[in-house]
Amino acid sequence: MDAYDAIAFGCPSMGSEQLEESGFEPMFASCEGKLGGKKIALFGSYGWGDGEWMRNWEETCRSDGAVLACESVICNNAPNDEAEVDCKALGAAIAV
């Protein structure tokens, strides 16, 4: 994490609108202490609910001192054409 100024994280929602907990969440938790001042972008998908997990994740990142580079990209199930365009914009925002 120390070597990067900008980071994109992507994760699907699992269970009761939470980050995937067996692989992703432990990795992300290990990064949290180094997010202060970093430009980040978040993306993910969900199959139920209203995407509350993304709002919670964004708030966690802000509380960790991260700066969201752009609006997070979230889609229900598989990405549609709009989500694909949004993902390209996310990539451009984080690369600047």
- Which pairs count as long-range contacts for 82-87, CB under 8 Å and 24+ apart, including other chains? 87/43
Residue type, 44: G
Confidence (pTM): 0.89
**What pLDDT, on the 0 to 100 scale, is given for residue 37?**
94
The residue ranking higher by pLDDT, 77 or 29, is 29
Segment 80-85 shows an average pLDDT of: 90
Tokens for 26?
A: 């432990």
pLDDT at 1 over 90: no
